[in-house]
Structure formats: structure tokens, C-alpha cells
Amino acid sequence: MAAADDGERDEIRRSVREFVEREVLPVCDDLDNRDQEIPLPVIGKMAELGYFGLIFPAEYGGMGLDTVAMAIVTEELSRGWLSVGSVMTRMLITGSLIMAAGTEEQKRKWLPRIASGEVLTAAAFTEPDVGSDTASMKLRAEKRDGQYRLTGEKTWCTFANRAHVLTVLARTDPEARPKHKGLSILLVEKNPGDGFSPPALAGSPIPTIGYKGMRSYSLQFDGYPCAVDNLLGGEEGKGFYQLMATYEYARIQTAARAVGVAQASLDAALKYSQERIQFDRPIADFQVIRHKLAHAVTEIEAARRLCYYAAEMKDTGKRCDLEAGMAKAFAAEMAERVTSEMLQVFGGYGYSREYPAQRYWRDARVFRIFEGTSEIQYEVIAKRILGGK
Ligand SMILES: Cc1cc2nc3c(=O)[nH]c(=O)nc-3n(C[C@H](O)[C@H](O)[C@H](O)COP(=O)(O)OP(=O)(O)OC[C@H]3O[C@@H](n4cnc5c(N)ncnc54)[C@H](O)[C@@H]3O)c2cc1C
């Protein structure tokens, strides 16, 4: 892994910003307002620029960059449109699982294809009856006639339609006790497209209030096949541990997404507050508005530093579930507060689809929910400071 110095980090930030200004900002508000997904050519360009394999070692087709660089790229993409920063999350989750737990053969087979965008992935962990309580996942994977057959349901699988591979947490041993020892991760191949392949694999999109550039699906599996070679790490019963080990990356990346969205809302409010005239002066002259902006920039910077701190710890190879949890929880709540206050700066226009202030606010609401709810993050933090209790 190459640790980028400050100059390289500035250059990475500048180049991602340029990409966002050229490819994302001209289209994202219109697409968001019309409930449309990110155009596939934009995803193709992200792959070409190496965003999907940022942290994969060069020998597996990646860029070999560190976690801080990954956070910077994520932040800048999300500053354009949360969904764009979040496309990367899918490849990061599957890629980091394979990097950490895959067999050598799996690394050689999948990582270069994920890095190049040839294989797009989605994470299928959550189920209709089981969300935070990961150990209780029910979807069954049974070995029959030399392959796994998956039966059960998943929900909130974002990007499932466009993915070539679903990274599925499945129960391979229903008798195992404690029950988390019966879980395994399978790399389940499918054809991309909204049609899926019912009845073996059916999917339907879930209408949402934000996060519009990607669709989240509820999925029904009825004997859907998966090759035995696609069992992550080649050993059953390890799925729970494999997933926990990669939560740190996903949480740092989610904190970076929250920082990006909050920064975009501040940028927009800064501009508007100097242009909007009331009582014969720009509203930025009113102390209450100035202080809203000052609070926002302070909170964003605090979240950004916490995110980079967790990323730096990750790069030293130290355990950082506490720091990643703090960064994710703090940044999520910060983004909700900041985007709401920045919408307020716009007055009535903030509530209108003509301005993106409402998009940032709708998008920011999801941070406290996905990648482990805030309540779960605080449990992780509390356990660490209370010595496991
Ligand atoms: C837009 C969106 C996209 C998503 N994308 C994906 C995806 O791609 N893949 C995927 O697998 N999942 C995805 N999710 C699902 C997401 O990860 C879950 O919603 C989340 O983990 C919470 O699970 P749940 O919704 O079942 O809530 P529950 O676990 O049922 O929780 C309900 C409430 O109870 C609280 N709670 C639960 N347990 C505890 C506890 N022990 N202590 C204190 N409070 C607790 C929670 O914090 C929450 O407030 C997505 C969700 C959304 C909204």
C-alpha cells in the first residue's frame, strides 16, 4: 500500500473534483428530480479512473492507495452526488472482503475485474426480518449436486440490478451454535439488469425519499445457484467474522460520504447567502446566518478530521473499530444537522426542487441508518470504552 503524501492527496482531490464538475454536476439534479439512476457511462469513467480498485494492491489490478486517499476520493465524489460516492462503496465492500479473506485464486479472479469495472458488485446482507442483528441472518445456502442453492430473502440490496455479483451473507449451517458460526459469504453471479431471473431470483425496487441515483432492491431467492468455488475463503462458517473485519473500511468510507454531502450543502449556502438580498443587504450580513455558516464549517472540519484519523489508524494496520465507529456516527449526525441548517439559509427556495439544498438534506438522512445505525455504532463505542460490557 502506498501512503500518499500531502501533495499527492491534493492532486487526487483536484482530479476527482474535476471529474465531478465535468461528469456529475451537469446532470445530477435533473436525474435526481426524475428518479433516474446514474448513467452507465459515468460509472464506466469511474472505473477507468481507477476509483473501484483504489485500495487493491497493484498486483491485483488496483492503485494500491491508502485509506486516507480512499476517503478523499469518496468525499469529493459524494460532494457531487451521494449516489456517485456510493457506487464505489459496493466495490470497496466486496473487494475488501476478497482482499482480506479470499483465497489466492479468488483474489486473482475477482479483484482485477472489479477494479476495471468489468464486474460490478452489490452487498446483500440485510433481510426483511433481520437488519442490525447480523448473526441472525436466515437466507439459506444449501450444498446440492456440487453447488450451493440459495433460498430466502434479502432486502435493501442497493445496485442489485446493475451488479454482476451479489455478495451474499448466507446460512450454510442452520444447526451451528452460536448461530453466527453458521454464516458464510458467497459471491453470487447474476446477469445485470432489472429483470433478474425469476422465479429463482426475483427483485423489486424499494421507493425511497433520497439516494436516487441507485436503486435498492428486495430480492427473493428460490433455489438460485452459486458455484462452490465462490465461497469466500473456501471455508464455511467464517462469514460473520469476515464481514466484521471489513466494517472498518465501510464505516470510514461512509463518514467520508457524509462529509462530502455536508460540504456540498455548505458550498451552496455560502454562495446563496451572499447573493440573496433582504432588508437591502445580503442575508450573509445577518449574524444568525453568518453563525449558521460558521457552525457548519466547524462541524464539517471536525468530522473530516475524525474520518482521516480513523483512516490513518487503518493504514497503520491497527484495530480501529472504535475510531471508525466514532467517525461514522459523528459524521452521520453532523450531515443531518448541517444539511438541514443549510436548507434553512435558502428559506422557501430550500424546499424547492429548483435548488439542490433539499437533495443534500434528503440524502444526508440515510447516513444514520445504513452501514450500521447510529445506535449500533454507539453500542460498539460503549463496549470498547466499558471493556466489552
Ligand atoms: C437507502 C438504503 C440503502 C441500503 N443499502 C444496503 C445494501 O446495499 N446492502 C445491505 O445489506 N443493506 C443495505 N441497507 C440496509 C441497512 O444496512 C439497514 O437498514 C440497517 O442495517 C438497519 O437494519 P434495519 O433496517 O433492519 O433496522 P433494525 O435493525 O430493525 O433497527 C431498527 C431500529 O432499532 C435500533 N436497534 C436495533 N438493534 C439495536 C440494539 N442492539 N441496540 C440499540 N438499538 C438497536 C436501530 O438502531 C434502529 O433505530 C440499506 C438501507 C437503506 C435505507
Model pLDDT for residues 163-181, shown as the tens digit of each residue? 999 999 999 999 999 999 9
CA–CA dist 154, 147 (Å, integer):
20
Query: Is residue 389 very low, low, confident or very high in pLDDT (cuts 50, 70, 90)?
Result: low
Per-residue confidence (pLDDT) for residue 1, from 0 to 100: 66
Q: Is the CB of 126 under 6 A from ligand 1?
A: yes
Pocket lining: 369 vs ligand 1, CB cutoff 6 Å: yes
Average pLDDT of the residues in 80-84: 98
N-term to C-term CA, the chain:
35
Three-class DSSP category at 332: helix
* Helix (DSSP H) and strand (DSSP E) numbers for the chain: 11, 9
Give the pairing of strands 216-227 and 147-158.
antiparallel
Mean pLDDT of the chain: 97
| C-alpha of residue 217 to centroid of ligand 1, in Å | 14
- Answer yes or no: is the C-beta of 249 below 6 A from any ligand 1 atom: no
Which amino acid does the sequence have at 302?
Answer: A
pTM score: 0.98
Residue range 236-241: average pLDDT?
A: 98
Å from CA of 251 to ligand 1 middle: 14
Work out the average pLDDT over 146-159. 98
Alpha-carbon gap, residue 52 to 352, rounded angstroms = 34
Burial string for 296-307 (b: 16+ CB within 10 Å, else e) reads: beebbeebbebb
Residue 133 grid cell: 442483528
What DSSP letter does each residue of 30-97 carry, written as one string?
HHHHTTPPPPHHHHHHHHHTTGGGTTS-GGGTS--B-HHHHHHHHHHHHHH-HHHHHHHHHHHHHHHH
Measured CA to CA, the distance from residue 340 to residue 362 in angstroms comes to 9
Does the pLDDT at position 361 exceed 80? yes
What is the reported pLDDT for 388?
Answer: 74
What is the 128 CA–ligand 1 centroid distance (Å)? 10
- The one catalytic residue among 104, 371, 375, 379: 371
Q: Would strands 277-278 and 140-144 be described as parallel, antiparallel, or unpaired?
A: unpaired
pLDDT of residue 6: 84
From the alpha carbon of 160, which atom of ligand 1 is closest?
A: 8
How many Å apart are CA 69 and CA 371, to the nearest integer?
20
Mean pLDDT on 98-116: 98
What is the DSSP track for 371-384?
Answer: SS-HHHHHHHHHHH
Atom of ligand 1 at shortest range from CA of 125: 11
The answer, yes or no, to whether any atom of ligand 1 lies below 6 A from the CB of 366, is yes
Instruction: For residue 369, report the distance from its CA to the centre of ligand 1, in Å.
Output: 6
For ligand 1, atom 14, which residue shows the shortest CA distance?
156
Three-state secondary structure readout of 151-176? EEEEEEEECCCCCCEEEEEEECCCCC
- What is the number of the ligand 1 atom nearest to the C-alpha of 90? 8
Q: What is the pLDDT of residue 5?
A: 82
In the chain, the amino acid numbered 45 is: K
Q: Taking residues 18-35, what's their average pLDDT?
A: 98
Tell me how far apart the alpha carbons of residues 250 and 328 are, in angstroms, rounded to a whole number: 9
Residues 6+ apart with CB under 8 A from 369: none
**Of all protein residues, whose CA lies closest to atom 48 belonging to ligand 1?**
373
Question: Ligand 1 in contact with 51 (CB < 6 A)?
Answer: no
Query: Does the pLDDT of residue 3 top 70, yes or no?
Result: no
The answer to whether the CB of 89 is under 6 A from ligand 1 is no
Position 2 scores a pLDDT of: 64
Distance 122 CA to ligand 1 centre (A): 16
Cβ–ligand 1 contact at 132 (below 6 Å): yes
Compute, in angstroms, the gap from residue 134 CA to the centroid of ligand 1: 10
Q: Strand 277-278 to strand 281-282: parallel, antiparallel, or no bridges (unpaired)?
A: antiparallel
Q: Is 373 in the pocket of ligand 1 (CB under 6 A)?
A: yes
Q: With a 6 A CB cut-off, is 217 part of the ligand 1 pocket?
A: no
- Tell me how far the alpha carbon of residue 234 is from its chain's centroid: 26
171 - beta bridge partners?
140, 183
Is position 371 annotated as part of the catalytic site? Answer: yes
For ligand 1, mutation pick of 93, 126, 168, 219 (most atoms within 8 Å of CB): 126
Q: Say whether pLDDT at 258 is over 80.
A: yes
